[in-house]
Amino acid sequence: MSRIAYVDGVYQPLNLPGILVEDRGYQFADGVYEVCAIRNGLLLDELCHLERLEYSLAALDMPMPMSRAALQQVMRETLRRNRIHSGILYMQVTRGIAPREHMYDPSLKPVLVMTARPISAERRRQIMRRGISVISLPDQRWARCDIKSISLLPNVLARQSARNAKVEEAWQIDGQGMVTEGAATNAWILDAKGVLRTRPADNGILNGIVRQVLLDCVSKLALKFEEKPFSLDEALAAQECFSTASTMSVFPVVEIDGTKIGNGKPGAIAKTLSDAYDKVEKKLTEN
């Protein structure tokens, strides 16, 4: 079955052209996006993603492309037409179409694009069993990483560097030697003292949806926890490290820059939080 995309009001085969040359997203990366996980044919954490979409749009002085209710209807129809049981839904909103110049007309009509694709549930299980390896790189992104902008070139280069190094992810390091986040994930450690840590949701990171859900799980599990930056050295000396993202939920990190973390295997806290997230996920998809 061919994949179906929603492009500015029309459902069409994914391989058909649909974006105009003067779309500001194409020429200026002037837009935002969201990626929602699909489990058992349903969207996870849908309202959280919509709230973050609205936050990003407001930060860039862009209106919603339609009402929230209408957007939810398009999300469900895109999901239905693609018949995805396990995977992701990608939605992108650009400022609109106009002759190319840096200034914009606030009255431009935003352009909404949406796609969906499958991701194997077995792949998630494999990652949880074996963990991933990461490299560290200088963080070269802009100063508003809290906005989920489609301008992702530094992330692209970081991820490509990870691939070239034959690892799965790159953790980015700020000018003070502190870990910000992965190229496409949030970063966590269980430090040498047994305290779970992740960077506060400031402008230096994207406030991931799985991150938000896990913070609630951490509170309910009464784990020792601090929203506090940590250095690369602290990560290398940590008992455990892991990343989180909507695509795979929890990714145990077993190696950084060739150095084993702990015993070089996925840790107990990562497993505990993965199980906790799975319980939340199950509840969401059963209701």
Strands 225-227 and 196-198: parallel
Do 45 and 181 fall within a single domain?
no
Are the C-beta atoms of residues 167 and 133 closer than 8 Å to each other? yes
Q: CA 37, CA 48: separation in Å to the nearest integer?
A: 12
Do 164 and 261 fall within a single domain?
yes
Domain that holds residue 204: 124-286
What stretches of the chain show up as alpha helix (H) in DSSP?
A: 24-28, 46-59, 68-82, 121-130, 153-164, 209-221, 232-236, 268-286
Decide which of 96, 119, 142 is a domain's last residue.
119
pLDDT along the chain (287 residues), means of 10: 92 90 97 96 95 98 98 98 95 98 98 95 88 98 98 98 98 98 98 98 97 96 97 98 94 98 97 95 79
Do 158 and 206 fall within a single domain?
yes
Please tell me what DSSP assigns to residue 222.
Answer: T
Strands 4-7 and 111-118: antiparallel
Do 111 and 146 fall within a single domain?
no
Do 175 and 217 fall within a single domain?
yes
Decide which of 119, 140, 163 is a domain's last residue.
119
pLDDT at 214 (0 to 100): 97
What is the tally of structural domains in the chain? 2
Do 176 and 61 fall within a single domain?
no
pLDDT at 287 (0 to 100): 60
Decide which of 119, 142, 160 is a domain's last residue.
119
| CATH assignment at residue 27 | 3.30.470.10
Q: Which residues contact 222 (CB under 8 A, 6 or more apart)?
A: none
Q: What is the pTM of this model?
A: 0.95
Q: CA 97, CA 30: separation in Å to the nearest integer?
A: 11
Check 109, 148, 166, 279 and give the catalytic one. Answer: 148
Do 181 and 215 fall within a single domain?
yes
Retrieve residue 75's tokens. 């999300």
Supply the Cα-derived Rg of the chain in whole angstroms: 19
Number of H helices, E strands in the chain: 8, 15
Do 96 and 237 fall within a single domain?
no
Q: CA 170, CA 163: separation in Å to the nearest integer?
A: 9
Do 129 and 115 fall within a single domain?
no
Do 216 and 81 fall within a single domain?
no
| CATH assignment at residue 264 | 3.20.10.10
pLDDT at 70 (0 to 100): 98
pLDDT at 199 (0 to 100): 98
Are the C-beta atoms of residues 255 and 264 closer than 8 Å to each other? yes
Do 150 and 266 fall within a single domain?
yes
Across-strand partners of 6?
Answer: 11, 114
Q: Is 260 a catalytic residue?
A: no
Q: CA 176, CA 181: separation in Å to the nearest integer?
A: 14
Do 41 and 159 fall within a single domain?
no
